[in-house]
Amino acid sequence: MRIAVIDYGMGNLRSVARALEHVGAREVAVTDDPAVIAAAERVVFPGQGAVRDCMSALHQHELVEVLHQVAADRPFLGICMGMQALMTRSEENEGVEALDIFPGTVRHFGDRASAPARLKVPHMGWNRLYQLTTHPLWAGIEQDERFYFVHSYYVEPASPDIVQGESDYGGRFAAAIGAGNLFATQFHPEKSQQPGLRLLTNFLSWDGEPCS
Amino acid sequence: MGLASRIIPCLDIDGGRVVKGVQFVDIRDAGDPVEIARRYDRAGADELTFLDITASHEQRETLVHTVEAVAAEVFIPLTVGGGIRAVADVRRMLNAGADKVAINTAAIHDPDLVRAASERFGAQCIVVAIDAKRSGGSDTEPRWEVFTHGGRKPTGIDAVDWAQQMAAAGAGELLVTSMDRDGTRIGFDNALNQAISERAGVPLIASGGVGNLQHLADGVLKGKADAVLAASIFHFGEYTIAEAKAFMAEAGIEVR
């Protein structure tokens, strides 16, 4: 099984590769080579940092086209910035056009009208994840389980139907989204100990169908 | 709200070994960072912090390997601090598997370092460590000064102002150590933590002075800390992480 972890120079990607290997993945390639990515059976799109740098790195490494290609037809997991980059656009850095694989916007926590008091940003730490669906990637993970988050922006999908799980930080927000062969989490499964490793295990055996 | 207050054991590292001893009952090698990190991971620690107290450059190389070895087996967030002086140091630690890098003295000498590192890697992985000592003011309005070099060198900088400046420059988190309390086991300086927590707008890790579980709870309830860091009470087996969490939960604090 060949898994491509997309490397576009944005932070600590090896943690994701190590966690995948830890749960039994073989042939994990941390790569920026479009040919390797196109040939992979599964794709993991991690990332952290700022969306402007993320998008410019994707363009620079000529990865935009291959990302659209693999996002169309095989098991695909976005993590953190790799989730936000799938949306139409982000409000970060005065507005950045993203990959537009999911219609929707990425917004800053500091602007949340629903927050009762000023929120500390980034949202950092272990928060509860409310599963809204019975997606195969939630298999064996308890409802309301905690995952590790660290982010200043959150996604607001145009369609609520794609929200697979929510968390609460000054109000509910989409902590996991998915449709068809695509799944993406705002939290870091590779840093979320047992439940995170379980999600990665589920990803390795997922056939890319939204229902089991 | 569901966000849990974090408990973070802190390990001092010298030349790739944990120093100041960790005394788990049946530990095979009390100096091995991987073994200790694995223990704390299993025990329910929410994050781990490694502080490199090595002076020499050669031993810094060792730290990179230590971080790599720990990150390969421990799947909770790992912060590394000590001797981070340049953007290149930050990158090496992140590449080795650190999730966050703590910058202390270098932030004072080169405030642009925090901005540059944060722009490059994101605020989420830049922790600014502040060592503060009470420097007068009144009982109702105390003041604190930033110190460097393990609390030996005064800077003349007001700690609360500095915290706000660092958050504005791109620190995603602040690790605040009271030099008055460090090693005393009489509890955090909650007035210091509260003053910073209410102004800086980013998460705060309280450090320095923990002697019992009430101190951890007070750090959150009185000091408004988002995370509490402790070393000796866990290392010497006085309390387990589970006991600390049970105590905090009993005090009404949300824990994992």
Alpha-helix residue ranges (DSSP H) falling in A108-185: none
What is the C-alpha to C-alpha distance for residues A96 and A81, in angstroms, rounded to an integer?
A: 13
Asked if residue A81 belongs to a domain, the reply is yes
Please count the other Cβ atoms lying within 10 Å of the Cβ belonging to residue B175. 28
Domains identified in chain A, total number: 1
Residues of B in contact with A49 (CB under 8 A): 120-122
Q: Is B12 a catalytic residue?
A: yes
Give residue A100's identity as a one-letter amino acid code.
D
Contact A150 B172 (CB under 8 A): yes
Contact B3 A125 (CB under 8 A): yes
Asked if residue A139 belongs to a domain, the reply is yes
Long-range contacts of A109-115 (CB under 8 A, 24+ apart): A109/A152, A109/A153, A109/A154, A109/A169, A109/A170, A110/A152, A112/A170, A112/A171, A114/A170, A114/A171, A115/A170, A115/A171
What is the C-alpha to C-alpha distance for residues B69 and B92, in angstroms, rounded to an integer?
A: 14
Distances (CA, A) of B11 to A3, A175, B150, B229, B251: 34, 32, 16, 10, 26
Residues of A in contact with B77 (CB under 8 A): 148, 150, 188, 191
Distances (CA, A) of A111 to A117, A118, A120, B206: 11, 9, 11, 27
Domain that holds residue A195: 3-205
- Predicted complex ipTM exceeds 0.90: yes
Asked if residue A211 belongs to a domain, the reply is no
Please report the pLDDT score of residue B25 as a whole number. Answer: 58
Residues of B in contact with A122 (CB under 8 A): 123-124, 172-173, 202-203
Confidence band (pLDDT; 50, 70, 90) for B175?
very high
The Cα angle at residue B39 between residues B33 and B42, in degrees rounded to 5:
135
Q: Write out the CATH class of domain B6-250.
A: alpha beta
What is the C-alpha to C-alpha distance for residues A202 and A139, in angstroms, rounded to an integer?
A: 7
Write the CATH number for A104. 3.40.50.880
pLDDT 10s per residue in chain A (212 long)?
599 999 987 766 788 999 999 999 999 999 999 999 999 999 999 988 778 888 999 999 999 999 999 999 999 999 999 999 999 999 887 889 999 999 999 999 987 877 767 899 999 999 999 999 999 999 999 999 999 999 999 999 999 999 999 999 999 999 999 999 999 999 999 999 999 999 999 999 999 988 75
Mutate to test the interface with B, among A15, A92, A131, A142 (most CBs of B within 10 A): A15
Contact B124 A151 (CB under 8 A): yes
pLDDT beyond 80 at B96: yes
Please report the pLDDT score of residue B26 as a whole number. Answer: 61
Asked if residue A210 belongs to a domain, the reply is no
CB A152 within 8 A of CB A123: yes
Check residue B159 and report its DSSP letter.
Answer: H
User: Mean pLDDT score of chain B, rounded to an integer?
Assistant: 91
Asked if residue A212 belongs to a domain, the reply is no
What is the C-alpha to C-alpha distance for residues B152 and B78, in angstroms, rounded to an integer?
A: 27
